[in-house]
């Protein structure tokens, strides 16, 4: 199955590690319910998702092996984050700008890394 889609293990490794970290964070958040650390752990999850989703879009693309450029991958995730936070605003009545900001920090980190790796 992996040969059909030509996905190699080395580029997939950061995604697997990030998913494992998020699972561990969610386990600790829901098991221990420590309110002081709950907020910090949630912000770390947003940074991780801001890093991994554009990385996945840039590295793996969509079906038919269409790859995104670095800018397209980052912009696609910015738009998706904005639409999600706006839908949450419509349901809850308040905007969680801090979570959106942590997603943008993750996007800045991965965008800078990918540009550095491309121009190196």
The token pair at 15 is 């995604």
Q: What is the pLDDT of residue 64?
A: 54
CB atoms near residue 95 (< 10 Å): 13
Residue 3: the pLDDT is 54
Alpha helices in 61-96 (DSSP H): 70-92
| pTM of the model as a whole | 0.79
For the chain, 120 residues long, the average pLDDT of each consecutive 10-residue run is 62 85 84 72 88 86 69 90 91 87 92 84
pLDDT value for 105? 93
């Amino acid at each position: 199955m992996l040969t059909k889609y030509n996905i190699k293990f080395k580029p997939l490794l950061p995604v697997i590690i990030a998913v494992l970290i998020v699972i561990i964070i969610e386990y600790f958040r829901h098991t221990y319910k420590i309110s002081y650390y709950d907020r910090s752990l949630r912000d770390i999850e947003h940074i991780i998702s801001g890093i991994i989703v554009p990385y996945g879009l840039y590295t793996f693309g969509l079906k038919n092996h269409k790859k995104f450029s670095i800018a397209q991958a980052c912009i696609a995730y910015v738009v998706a984050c904005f639409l999600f936070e706006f839908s949450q605003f419509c349901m809850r009545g308040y905007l969680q700008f801090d979570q959106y900001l942590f997603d943008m920090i993750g996007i800045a980190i991965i965008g800078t890394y990918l540009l550095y790796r491309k121009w190196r």
